[in-house]
Chains A and B, each alone.
Chain A
Amino acid sequence: MGEEVAEYDGAYKVTRGLLHEFGNKRVIDTPITELGFAGLGVGAAMAGLRPIVEFMTFNFSILATDQIINSAAKMLYMSGGQFNIPIVFRGPGGSALQVSSQHSQALESWYAYFPGLKVVMPSTPADAKGLLKSSIRDDDPVIFIEQERMYGLKGEVPDDPDFTIPLGVADIKREGTDCTIVARSLMVPLALEAAAKLQEQGVSCEVIDPRTIRPLDIDTIIESVKKTNRVVLAEESHPICGVNAEISHEIMERAFDYLDAPVKRVSGADVPMPYAKNLEQLAVPDLEKIIAAVREVAYLD
């Protein structure tokens, strides 16, 4: 259920073909009424359905936050365990290309704040399939944040209709020994590219993609930091009170004695997203910023 998911085939074509395959009872075009249809989804979940609610972008989910946070996240707890909410709220989040401040927000740290929600962010096509299946099969509300700029990425995807990736498990996307880069969503391909470049410069990076932001597989990250002793956290979202601030604290608390340098964050600029092409490029971390950060924690320059 969502805006343009049925007859339009989805604003980003994610739901293309679903109306044809499953019919209009299961694939529903909604009016532009985010608070209403998010709440409708939660109510339907209380009555036994397993809804998937699309936000055309997560920017619009802000209108629905009362139902996501005050209803979905809290229903099981405040009912004393009677009503779980097996709902998935999915859609693209984060920056696009020149769509300006109201259409470019990365909200995962907002949602990761709330006990009762699970937050998942895929970065490859295979991860998208496996994680979405697990999210749908999960009996709790899942915030599934895709990235519009990654919809075009191509990758190997298992055909198995039961291919799932467990939630709460990070993925080591590249092994290395000198520095750990923790990256999610849009920053993953960038981190891998940076690692390749750094390899040429003699620095071996381990790239970790948490995949599930809440609950976070911090153990995998800590194991890596114990090995490399240096860590760079990359994100496109704003730095303040972001997910990397959370990861940084966890690393400090659990691996303090293993760090050879302070934890370094690479985040999006702390400004509303500008429209001008050059300003937008300055606002989102790029290859150079990640490479510079790794070199900084390695005391190379």
Chain B
Amino acid sequence: MSKQSPAPPSRAGADEQSSTGVIDPPKDIDKKKLARERDQAKERQKDRLGGLEQKQLIDLYRQMILIRRFEEKAAEVYVAGKIGGFCHLYIGQEAVAVGSISAIRKDDYVLGSYREHGQALAKGMSARSIMAELYGKATGCSKGKGGSMHMFDKELNFLGGHAIVGGQIPLATGTAFASKYQDTDRVTLCFFGEAAVNQGAFHESLNMAQLWKLPCIYICENNQYGMGTSVDRAMSLRDIAQKSCAYEIASEFVDGMDVLAIREATLRAVERGRKEYLPTLLEIRTYRFMGHSMSDPGKYRTRAEIEKYQERDPIKLFAASLIEKHITDEATLEKLDKEVREEVEDAVRFAEESPLPAPEELYTDVYSNPIETGQSRTIR
């Protein structure tokens, strides 16, 4: 843990205006201003570096670059027709999954949305099992029966992968309920986007969590767009952290491009969950560099806006911080990148060579204890 007192939670970017969602002609970006803001963010991050050992910091970097390369590869093989259906990429948001999951234990629960490859990797699932699942192969984590939106790993306590917006929020509230019921100090992290905040399930869950004191950490990844709808076209009150007052729930706003800020905010929430069973709402302002999914033409954002956030790429930012503080150097990071690319290539090879599920698998896992009757026997 940090020897100095932790930096106060950053509200960086909280008051920025996001675009109107109307197609604007590309505006000139004030490169100098962007560079200044990026340097300020880097300085804030460098202040946090003292809290962790070199090995841990490099590992955080590795996890982020693994997600980045994995998602880039997923985009590539999707276009090549190897992945069917939907593929929602996490590029740009890596710091959120890595920072927050680094703050929990293996026996803590994680639930996410359909944009969950990043969380799955951060929780420790192998690139192989996720890639094979994307390919719909029998060796995938869900035996090929879930796909991109339904990654699960019981042993690692990664509870999916849910495709209905906000569907995971009551589920996560339930796993937190169970942890407390079973007299453990396990916590649950629940990831969802800012658009999910408009679903009734969000409000119902936060109410119960605070009312009954359930150790659930609600992580809102505010990437400012619900598919093609910007947050100011969808929400009357856009300050999501502020919505916490409706539930008397603890909340924080976090800069989603700073992996260490996220880690620290999560650690505070985890402490609150383990010691007091209280829930927390974290609003983490981030950005996705690719579209909503692979089929998104992306007409609702300007190139200028995307470039603005790419200036604050969480991976580049972290690399710069680590190098400037002499925690590592370019050569080491390049070597890491090469390793990670090889890991992803291996995952693709594994997926390519794996078999499809056997036809009989169509009818397995519908019931845990199937009851044979005349109807169930002959409905095939």
Query: Which A residues are closer than 8 A to B by beta carbons?
Result: 25, 30-31, 33, 35-49, 66-67, 70-71, 75-84, 86, 115-116, 118, 138-140, 166-168, 212, 214-219, 222, 250, 254
Task: Report chain A residues within 8 Å CB of B146.
Answer: 78-80
Is there an interface contact between A31 and B208, defined as CB atoms closer than 8 Å? yes
Q: Which of A39, A166, A217 sits near B170, CB closer than 8 Å?
A: A39
Kindly state the separation between the CA atoms of A166 and B160 in the bound complex, as whole angstroms.
32
Q: Does B222 contact A (CB under 8 A)?
A: no
For the complex, give the distance between the alpha carbons of A257 and B373 in Å: 22
Closest-by-CB residue of A relative to B201 is A35
Q: Check A70–B164 contact: CB distance below 8 A.
A: yes
Residues of B close to A116: CB separation below 8 A: 366-367
Q: Do A80 and B375 touch across chains, with their CB atoms under 8 A apart?
A: no
Residues of A within 8 A of B143 (CB): 80-81
Tell me, in angstroms, the Cα distance from A40 to B173 when the chains sit together. 6
Interface centre among B152, B154, B177, B373 (most CB of A within 10 A): B373
Given contacts A35-B201, A139-B368, A140-B368, contact A67 B154 (CB under 8 A): no
Task: Decide: B150 and A218 in contact? CB cutoff 8 A.
Answer: no
Partner of B371, one of A31, A66, A215: A215
Residues of B within 8 A of A (CB): 109, 111, 140-146, 150, 152-154, 159-164, 167, 169-179, 181-182, 200-201, 204-205, 207-208, 211, 364-369, 371-376
**Contact status B182-A48, CB under 8 Å:** yes
Contacts of A39 in B (CB 8 A): 167, 169-171, 173-174, 201, 205
Contact A77 B369 (CB under 8 A): no
Question: Which residues on A sit within 8 Å (CB–CB) of B141?
Answer: 80
Residues of A within 8 A of B376 (CB): 168, 215
- With a cutoff of 8 Å between Cβ atoms, the chain B residues found around residue A219 in the complex are 373-374
Residue contact B142 to A46, C-beta cutoff 8 Å: no
Known contacts A40-B174, A47-B109, A217-B373; can you find 12 more A-B pairs with CB under 8 A?
A: A33-B207, A35-B201, A35-B204, A46-B174, A67-B171, A70-B167, A78-B150, A79-B150, A116-B367, A139-B369, A168-B376, A219-B374
Docked-complex contact A43 and B170, CB < 8 angstroms: yes
Question: Closest Cβ of chain B: how far from A53's Cβ, in Å?
Answer: 10
Kindly report which residue of chain A lies nearest to residue B109, judged by CB atoms: A47
- Least CB distance, A245 to chain B, in whole angstroms: 14
Q: Which of chain B's residues have a CB closer than 8 A to the CB of A79?
A: 142, 146, 150, 152, 154, 160-161, 365
